[in-house]
Amino acid sequence: MSACDYATQDELIEAVKEFMLQVKGVEEVFVLTDTDKEIIEQLEEEAKGNVLMGMGEGDNRGIAEVFSREHILCFTTNKQYVWPDPPNVIMMQGGEVIGFDCFEHEVSQYQDHPDYMVMGTFIMNKAKAAGKSGKPIVVLPPKPCDLGTIEVDDAVLGSPSTPSDEYIRKTYHFECSMEKGTFFLGFNKVKCLD
């Protein structure tokens, strides 16, 4: 359904919320308030220096992209939620990719290779990392979001830093569990509405 088939932006947002609630593993969906946005932007800025126990820097490009959109939704997930295709975490140093996450079935191609270290589904290229100077940068990239038959432009997902996730859980009284998570979804105002 074209976004222009909705009478107002609010109706479109409600349709997106209803669609997301049908996605396996999504438990709750809500619109972020302006206060939430300000606090989360501050938390994301503070989190930049708190990765790898302070030895690295964070670059949450996903959240930056989401927050550049006009409409921002948050949704909570359980362990049935299927994450977007990897990479969802990229480690860079000296301008080069030195680590990334991958699908479980891809791990075997790196397992016995002398240049790689495998940690679960995270792959570190030891050969590229050796001799690099400067702090590593952990990048959380934006991920596209398919909203089925709801046609909107620029729909993007972002995974929050730990402080932002904790803020959402505390503010909205969501269970603090390793099996539960939060994501943000952003999209721009559709010109044919309002």
Per-residue confidence (pLDDT) for residue 2, from 0 to 100: 59
Whether pLDDT at 194 is above 60: no
Delimit the domains of the chain by residue range. 1-82+143-194, 89-139
What are the tens digits of pLDDT across the range 87-118? Answer: 999 999 988 999 999 999 999 999 999 999 99
Q: What is the mean pLDDT of the chain?
A: 89
Whether pLDDT at 53 is above 90: no
Per-residue confidence (pLDDT) for residue 101, from 0 to 100: 95
Tell me the pTM. Answer: 0.88
Give the number of other CB atoms < 10 A from CB of residue 11: 14
What are the tens digits of pLDDT across the range 134-158? Answer: 788 999 999 999 998 888 878 999 9
